[in-house]
């Protein structure tokens, strides 16, 4: 299986939200990582045929997905950032409703709903109204609906947004499990969401794909280094202004900063091994302490 984007572009008026992206994906988990407004949702909406490209094309096994139309949607599952549901529906009603919309035969729908309720850990909540579910449980229902047609391509837009750390880990594990024998594309601006489960990480900035690779490959692609610097508290504002600071820890013996920089920022800085969070800051971070995406 192959999903291929060729020079994919989407403009809104004069603004280019997705800028000539060329990419080939096969089975496995792809993590689309970028700051807010990078163009992740726009890209995903095109992959889900909800938005026409201004230029370029998307091919599934060589066929244009917009021409494949319903045949393509049969093999697609999509969890949007905000997904609509009738608030009065119970989880079970909701899943059967989506199964009907997807054109599943009743016997198949019954089997799939049952399987997915177990797989997504929804057994306790089947009779609960959608409007009464917590964010994490609602997203489990969202994943279950996206999986109803056993899609070959599963697209998840910020599936962990607003989840607590436990739910986030549960979700990651679930996505890993679901990724067997299918392509999963998930978008996030949280590094840890993709660090362990994405075989391939795609870095998106201002509509373009600026890098792709495994976590290790991306770490090796850094031209800057990571430094641990212990300084007096009074030196912190100047360092924050002039460097990309990924972490600050204040202790009894002064303040320790983790800084991304080509050269040692202050005498006595110790070079540290880079992590994926540092890669994010290397490519997306700004000097001047404006790194709230990370902190
Ligand atoms: N329908 C639209 N009309 C005009 N501009 C749009 C439209 N949809 C998206 N944009 C713009 O395109 C850019 C990319 O938006 P998009 O939602 O794809 O980014 P994103 O990476 O998914 O961000 P977020 O993580 O905040 O959802 C933004 O500047 C956004 O304002």
pLDDT in tens, 202-233: 999 999 999 999 999 999 999 999 999 999 88
Q: Which CATH code of 1.20.140.160, 3.40.50.300, 3.40.50.1820, 1.10.510.10 fits the domain covering 3-219?
A: 3.40.50.300
Mutate to test the pocket of ligand 1, among 8, 39, 186 (most ligand atoms within 8 A of CB): 39
Provide the pLDDT for residue 135. 86
Provide the pLDDT for residue 287. 65
Is the minimum distance from the CB of 42 to ligand 1 under 6 angstroms? yes
Q: Rg of the Cα trace of the chain?
A: 22
Which residue CA neighbors atom 16 of ligand 1 most closely? 39
Provide the pLDDT for residue 216. 94
Q: Which two tokens stand for residue 26?
A: 């096969």
Which of the residues in the chain have pLDDT under 50? 289-295
Is the minimum distance from the CB of 103 to ligand 1 under 6 angstroms? no
Provide the pLDDT for residue 227. 96
What's the Cα-to-Cα distance from 221 to each of 30, 63, 190, 215, rounded to whole Å?
18, 34, 19, 10
Give residues with Cβ within 8 angstroms of 120, minimum separation 6: 140, 141, 143, 144, 147, 174
Q: Which two tokens stand for residue 97?
A: 């409703």
Cβ proximity of 251 and 257 under 8 Å? no
- Burial profile 101-114: b = 16 or more Cβ within 10 angstroms, e = fewer: ebebeeeebeebbe
Q: Which atom of ligand 1 is nearest to the CA of 45?
A: 18
Provide the pLDDT for residue 93. 95
Predicted TM-score (pTM) of this structure: 0.91
Cβ proximity of 146 and 154 under 8 Å? yes
Q: Can you tell me which residue has the tokens 């362990």? A: 196
Q: Can you tell me which residue has the tokens 């964010």? A: 135
> 9 C-alpha vs ligand 1 centroid, how far in Å?
13
Q: Which two tokens stand for residue 130?
A: 């959608």
Cβ proximity of 119 and 112 under 8 Å? no
Residue 277's nearest CA partner among 261, 256, 293, 262 is 293
Which residue CA neighbors atom 3 of ligand 1 most closely? 12
Specify the DSSP element, H or E, that contains 231.
strand 225-231
Residue 239's nearest CA partner among 226, 225, 229 is 229
Residue 230's nearest CA partner among 212, 248, 208 is 248
Q: Which two tokens stand for residue 176?
A: 């890993």
Is the minimum distance from the CB of 190 to ligand 1 under 6 angstroms? no
Provide the pLDDT for residue 122. 94
Give the max Cα distance, the chain: 70
Provide the pLDDT for residue 233. 86
Cβ proximity of 50 and 127 under 8 Å? no
């Amino acid at each position: 299986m192959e999903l291929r984007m060729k020079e994919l572009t989407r403009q809104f008026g004069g603004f280019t939200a997705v800028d000539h992206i060329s990419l080939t994906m096969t089975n496995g988990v792809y993590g689309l990582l970028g700051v807010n407004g990078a163009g992740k949702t726009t890209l995903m909406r095109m992959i889900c045929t909800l938005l026409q490209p201004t230029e370029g094309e998307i091919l599934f096994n060589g066929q244009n997905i917009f021409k494949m139309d319903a045949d393509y949607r049969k093999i697609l599952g999509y969890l949007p950032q905000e997904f609509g549901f009738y608030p009065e529906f119970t989880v079970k009603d909701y899943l059967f409703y989506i199964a009907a919309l997807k054109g599943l035969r009743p016997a198949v729908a019954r089997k799939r709903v049952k399987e997915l309720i177990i797989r997504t850990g929804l057994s306790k909540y089947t009779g609960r109204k959608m409007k009464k579910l917590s964010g994490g449980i609602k997203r489990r229902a969202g994943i279950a609906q996206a999986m109803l047609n056993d899609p070959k391509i599963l697209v998840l837009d910020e599936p962990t947004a607003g989840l607590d750390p436990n739910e986030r880990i549960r979700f990651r594990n679930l996505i890993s499990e679901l990724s067997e024998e299918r392509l999963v594309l998930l978008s996030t601006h949280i590094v840890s969401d993709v660090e362990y489960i994405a075989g391939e990480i795609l870095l998106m900035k201002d509509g373009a794909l600026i890098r792709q690779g495994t976590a290790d490959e991306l770490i090796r692609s850094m031209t800057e280094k990571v430094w641990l610097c212990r300084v007096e508290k009074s030196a912190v504002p100047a360092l924050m202004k002039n460097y990309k600071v990924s972490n600050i820890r204040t202790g009894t013996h002064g303040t320790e900063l983790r800084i991304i920089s080509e050269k040692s920022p202050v005498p006595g800085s110790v070079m540290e091994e880079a992590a994926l969070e540092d890669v994010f800051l290397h490519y997306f971070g700004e000097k001047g302490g404006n790194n709230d995406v990370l902190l």
